[in-house]
Chain A
Amino acid sequence: MKLDNLWNGTHWNDDGELEVLTFDLNGETFALEAVMVQEILDILPETAVPGSQPFVGSVINFRGKVIPLADLRLAFGMEAAEATIDSRIIVIELDLQDEPTLVGLRTDKVNEVTTLAKASSEAPPSVGMRWRPDYINCLVKRGGEFIILPNLQAIFSARQNKALSA
């Protein structure tokens, strides 16, 4: 029996499959549910927001809307990195306090839309991992490597709660 309740953020379909968009961050492969992706953008000019948390330290102009730009690297405690020619911004829609909110995510490279199988997924190991387990929905094995499905709700609401209590 797998720990199903840990994966409640992931919407496997009836066949136990999930369509995702995979992308790279500091050499690791991450995946987001394809349905939440709004758009993939080339790098845009960013505006730093002094006084905000580094994880969401800037804003961008997304089609006339000012949306926060987040860096998952900083949430996972990885090093920040300079943009490269492959860098892209993935715009996703998240529910924050029951309000749909657009957020941009920095990535080093956007790979592909693909289908993952629940059968090859695993709950995050409780030891031997340098990241906070509650920030990860699950790991999916594919061709000898792991794809990380981050728990965006947990990541953003943690930041948000901290922000609200500050």
Chain B
Amino acid sequence: MSSTDPIAVFRIEAAECLEQIEAGLLDLTHQLDDKALIDAVFRGLHTLKGSGSMFGFDALAAFTHHCETAFDRVRKGEAPATAELVAAVLDAQDHMRALVDDPNGDHDATSQRLLAQLQAAVGGAAKPAQWVTAAAPASVVTDKRKTWRIRFSLPLNAMINGTNPLGLLDELRDLGECRVVANTSTIPSLSALVPTELYLSWDVTVTTEQPRSAIDDVFIFVMDDMQLDVEEIDGNAVVATPKEAVVSAAPAAPVAPAAGEIVPVKREAPAQVAPVADQRQAKVTESVRVPAERLDELMDRVGELVIAQSRLSQLASASADIGLRSVSEEIERLSGELRDTMMVLRMVPVASLFSRFRRLVHDLARETGKVIELVTEGETTEVDKTVIERLADPLVHLVRNSIDHGLEPPEERFAAGKAEAGTITLSARQSGGEVIISIKDDGRGINRERVRAKAESSGLIQPGQQLSDAELLQLIFAPGFSTAAQITNLSGRGVGMDVVKKTVEALRGAIDIVSLPGQGSDVSLRIPLTLAIIDGLLVRVGAGRYVIPLSAVEECLELSLEEDLRSRGRSFISLRDSLVPFLRLRDVFRTGTKPDVHQKVVVISTGTERVGLVVDQIIGDHQTVIKSMSKLHNDVAHFSGATILGDGSVALILDVVHLVTVGQQQEAHLRAAG
């Protein structure tokens, strides 16, 4: 069940790592001098290189090494962070992705090209080894050797977390002459000693040509949790014993790393380490990686528990046993809480979805020559992970649409009296049982005439046919519909709005479009909060019981017998001055039963369109664990799934989108006839 293939695990980690690098780079384009970001990107590259070579992705490791070297120079202040560099590393980062996906492919040509690009961006020199001479400032201090006193201690649980202090000491030793003293005073008595804990702290004296930052680099991955104190001292003062004096007399620089990395730059006061460490104290919450199937299994179990619990409640409420009733209430509370926790488990913030668009917008801006600002709102809103996965493609399409069709070129915007930079706003917010994700632009809006012309020419509507504005806008969801005057690189790739709509509907969601000419468009996707458990309205039609998703229910009315009779000819009810078509579910489902005396109308909507469903009885709210129907029932259109009621019987869940469409079609048909 769980995937134990280390390569697969590496790929997932590499993907996350690359995502972080990309996010860091994109942030960097706005704040080129942000040291924390530069460090973050460097760390990402370093991790990728390390784990890449560990898992045998040698091409990746070698290529990443060059990027890391380039970035290291920026980090050390030897080369400026420029837009070209960031762009080059962004491209390089795409290439790393390719190297992760296909490590054995032929990537040499691309690698060479990208490295050349990178080198050009970082200093114009041709070879990494020459960068140093090209960029090294003339005023470098001539006496390179310095002696540093380093005191550090790691947290008690450092070794449990996989940190090996010996490795750190080895790295320090690689810097130059080194004297290590372990502080053993904190080792407890034998009875209190836990063998897996780390009690030692160290006092290290290093004499090295390397800059101060080389010392920090040794601790770069443990910096967050450790105590580190580095100070520069007079080298001779510490070399106390004659034996060590001999050692210190030996020629310097025992291990010379790649030439490009030995660039002594004097900077940073010793005391600066502490604040840096403090900043990083803001800890990332720990997380556990769990295969999605396991969560699904857990969700199924919780679903069954909720079902069993509602049966228990039913039995208890019919019983006079006080004990049973109180246990039942307790179980009800617990299973409710468990259900809530369970739902949250699958939720991830939409930030992870939105962050992908920064790159897209960045690239599209370069491609189209438009100035685009991407604003994201409500990134902490949480959505089911599967929903996020499935929404990625539709959102890409919508964002492309906004940029390609919506936003005007700068001159045109200027002429229209707008700011030169167009704004794309991606926002997410929660509203009741739904998450609303909207893509808004301040461009030219949807051109109604063009939509109409296109619809007429493709035969979707009759020439001159009267349409409401909403109906007109809905036309863009028709298959094969595109208003792009010419097929550009962005549009016309076959992913149409119809696919977007289908995807959203498959998630039991809906799309609303608001578009004002000259002011821009706003496309909102309304997605149910979770896919597995919904609140439903349980109704009875004939002998059968059905569930209507509560999020779609607008209101419930009574349909009196005489009104029912009067409405025989037409299938409308008047609802506060608007006519709402209705469907008699008794007829739709061919129950062959007589209507109840007090029939009810449940008005459901998919946002803009409403339809009434005539049912015999409204039973009440019901928490519904959605079960999918088998392939043998693929042809049954009226239902989107099934659920199990408290008594163990099955009730079908009505497909709201489908029924509204049926109702609206019936209405259109009647109108055309009348």
Contacts and interface: CB of A to CB of B under 8 A. Distances in A.
Interface of A: 44-45, 47-53, 56, 59-61, 64-68, 70, 96-97, 99, 101-103, 156, 159-160, 162-164, 166
A162 to B, nearest CB: 8
Contacts of B629: 49, 59, 66, 68
B649 A45 contact: yes
Contact of A66 (B591, B636, B638, B642): B642
Interface in B612-634: 627-634
A52 B637 CA distance: 9
B639 A164 contact: no
A70 B631 CA distance: 13
Given A51-B589, A101-B632, A160-B634, 19 more contacts: A45-B648, A47-B649, A47-B651, A49-B633, A49-B652, A50-B544, A56-B633, A59-B629, A59-B633, A61-B648, A61-B649, A64-B304, A66-B630, A66-B644, A68-B629, A96-B630, A102-B630, A103-B630, A163-B631
B307 interface: yes
Interface in B131-153: none
B635 A59 contact: no
Interface of B: 300, 303-304, 307, 544, 588-591, 627-639, 642-644, 647-652
Contacts, number: 91
B635 A164 contact: yes
A105 to B, nearest CB: 12
Contacts of B300: 64
Contact of A160 (B631, B638, B649): B631
Residue from A97, A156, A160 with most neighbouring chain B CB atoms (10 Å): A160
Given A50-B588, A64-B644, A156 B632 contact: yes
8 contacts: A53-B635, A61-B648, A66-B630, A66-B644, A96-B631, A97-B631, A101-B631, A103-B632
A48 B304 contact: no
Residue from A44, A52, A96, A97 with most neighbouring chain B CB atoms (10 Å): A52
B630 to A, nearest CB: 5
A52 B635 contact: yes
B134 to A, nearest CB: 61
B631 A47 contact: no
Contacts of A163: 631-635
A60 B632 CA distance: 13
Contacts of B627: 65-66
A67 B634 CA distance: 13
Contacts of A103: 630, 632
A70 B630 CA distance: 12
B543 to A, nearest CB: 8
A59 B589 CA distance: 15
B619 to A, nearest CB: 15
